[in-house]
Amino acid sequence: MTEFLAHARTFLFVPGHRPDRFPKAHADVVVLDLEDAVGPDQKVAAREHVRAWLAGGHPAMVRINPPGTPWHEEDLAVAVEHGCPVMLPKAEDPAVLAALGVSAGVVPLVETAAGIARAAEVCAAPGVVRPAFGSVDLAAQLGVDHRSHEALRYARSALVVAAAAAGRAAPVDGVTTALDDEDALVADLEHALTLGLTAKLCVHPRQVPVVHRRLAPTPEEVAWARGVLAAAEDGSVAVFEGQMIDRPVVLRAQAVLARAPG
């Protein structure tokens, strides 16, 4: 499961109190949400809906409520009971991540200034597969527009560097809240890829196929990557299309092919 999470491109949130939507959700990773999508008076019922779905053998990730809330411990117990991965919101303390005891993998949702400041420690915590970026919550804390690429460029880049330094998979980018604006979604995806994020949190099923297409490498990129690996097959420094091929270029080519479908 952790290997699958590391290469997934789409993470689709589904409200935990809407079990009617569970069977209709299709993405690399379906995230059953017990946190932001569920009001306080529906938290317990949502947890039971999620428990029943997981008990039926359906694969999913659970976004649990953060530590310090009345629901955190029981949410976590449901995920651990059914051996499913967890998304932890407001992730900023590596000790909290280390104490979760989730064997199927943890995706810390880094969405606070403290989380960005401690991103390297958060990513290096035991059990972490890759971080996700909580752009909307962080923007609210910073007093900036969550739609602004420039305002959150540093935070995204900091998370990319932290994940790489910890040897984790590249981060999952935050949501695009413009549900009916494909151009906005595509612009967000292109910006994220430029900075090194390779997956996306989705809040509507219609976003999923767009994300899959745009985050996959183009045929030209795949052809380039295969050419690089072929040229460097014997491990020596080589030349491909007029470019010197050494280990960093080979690693880049391998990363491109890792994003290719199938």
* Residues flagged as binding site for substrate: 63, 111
In sequence order, the 6+-apart residues with CB closer than 8 A to the CB of 193 are: 214, 215
Residues 6+ apart with CB under 8 A from 87: 11, 31, 61, 62, 63, 64, 106, 107, 108, 109, 132
**Which of 43, 10, 9 is CA-nearest to residue 25?**
10
Annotated binding-site residues for Mg(2+) read 111, 137
The annotation places the binding site at 63, 111, 137
- ∠ CA 37-38-44, rounded to 5°: 150
How many Å apart are CA 189 and CA 168, to the nearest integer? 20
Calculate Rg over the CA atoms of the chain: 19
Q: By the 8 A CB rule, do 14 and 21 touch? A: yes
Q: Which of 234, 202, 203, 224 is nearest to 215 (CA)?
A: 202
**Residue 184 and residue 149 in contact, taking contact as beta carbons nearer than 8 Å:** no
Residues in contact with 44: Cβ distance below 8 Å, sequence separation at least 6, in sequence order: 71
